[in-house]
């Protein structure tokens, strides 16, 4: 009983900022200014949500939402496809310099993203791809997230090689073995990669700030920035309302895929 009470108390502490954000989104502007620390509003209003739907810079929230979905889904597909293929090559195939190449891939995990930012930006600028979604999605198709490659390599290494040998006896080559044997069994690692890639891309602000300059291409994190004006008053009610709306797809995505993650971990009993 004591453990449950402590866990519940810790959960309330963790979720308090979310509760405060939800209640702040339905507060009047004067209530936000005078009772900022209070949790429950003295009165309720949904003007912030109306302003959030109108957006800023002449672009509404639906456009920001669609842009965020395109970037996040593209990043998920790119990471799942490229990282799973690279992981299968490192874990199962035999080729020269495999260990060295895998070591270099792991080193990139410790490399700050700011080191490659300028060269990467120059490349996309010379290709006239700045202010588009290509710089945010294309690197994901090249297995640049070494963390997910390492995650999948470790999972695939835990699968028994007898399955590969049986597939080879049945006439399967490396591609068919990867597609029909390894990929279905690696579902927990794939779902984990999908969840974290979606959340990290959805909440990413720095990369989108660098590559996106037109308001019609802005994602939700960039759209939130439009409600903050350093020279005049900022629309905090609309900003809080859009923040609440931006949390809904993340929660739904995690809720939809969490059961597959738990089910995959519970039913994958093939590790030897």
Which domains, ranges and CATH numbers included, belong to the chain?
Answer: 1-45 (no CATH), 60-267 (1.10.3720.10)
Q: What span, in angstroms and rounded, lies between the C-alpha atoms of 144 and 78?
A: 10
- Predicted confidence band of residue 137 (pLDDT cuts 50, 70, 90): very high
pTM as predicted: 0.84
Contact 233, 83 (CB under 8 A): no
Q: What pLDDT shows up at residue 267?
A: 46
- C-alpha dihedral (30, 31, 35, 39), degrees to nearest 10: -160
Q: What pLDDT shows up at residue 269?
A: 42
56 secondary structure, DSSP code: B
Can you say whether the dihedral through the CA atoms of 251, 195, 141, 127 is positive or negative? positive
Residue 221 neighbours by CB under 8 Å, 6+ apart? 68, 203, 204, 205, 208, 246
Q: By percentage, how much of the chain surpasses pLDDT 70?
A: 90
Q: What span, in angstroms and rounded, lies between the C-alpha atoms of 221 and 219?
A: 6
- Nearest alpha-carbon partner for 187 in 111, 127, 254, 263: 263
Q: What span, in angstroms and rounded, lies between the C-alpha atoms of 199 and 191?
A: 12
Name the least confident of 26-35, 108-117, 138-147. Answer: 26-35
272 secondary structure, DSSP code: -
């Amino acid at each position: 009983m004591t453990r449950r009470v402590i866990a519940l108390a810790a959960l309330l502490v963790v979720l308090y900022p979310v509760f405060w954000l939800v209640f702040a989104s339905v507060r009047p502007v004067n209530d936000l200014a005078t009772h900022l620390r209070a949790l429950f509003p003295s009165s309720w209003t949904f003007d912030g949500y109306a302003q959030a739907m109108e957006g800023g810079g002449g672009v509404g929230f639906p456009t920001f939402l669609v842009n965020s979905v395109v970037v996040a889904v593209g990043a998920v597909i790119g990471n799942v496809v490229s990282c799973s293929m690279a992981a299968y090559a490192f874990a199962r195939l035999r080729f020269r310099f495999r260990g060295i190449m895998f070591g270099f891939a792991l080193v990139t995990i410790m490399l700050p993203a700011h080191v490659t930012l300028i060269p990467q930006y120059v490349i996309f600028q010379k290709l006239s791809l700045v202010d588009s979604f290509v710089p945010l999605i294309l690197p994901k198709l090249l297995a640049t997230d070494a963390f997910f490659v390492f995650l999948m390599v470790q999972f695939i290494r835990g699968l028994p090689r007898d399955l590969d040998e049986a597939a080879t006896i049945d006439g399967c080559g490396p591609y068919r073995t990867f597609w029909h044997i390894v990929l279905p069994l690696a579902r927990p690692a794939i779902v984990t990669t999908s969840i974290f890639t979606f959340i990290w891309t959805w909440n990413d602000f720095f990369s989108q700030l660098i590559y996106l300059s037109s308001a019609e291409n802005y994602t939700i994190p960039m759209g939130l920035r439009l409600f903050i004006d350093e020279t005049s008053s900022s629309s905090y009610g609309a900003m809080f309302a859009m923040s609440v709306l931006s949390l809904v797809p993340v929660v739904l995505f995690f809720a939809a895929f969490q059961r597959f993650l738990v089910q995959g971990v519970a039913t994958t009993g093939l590790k030897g």
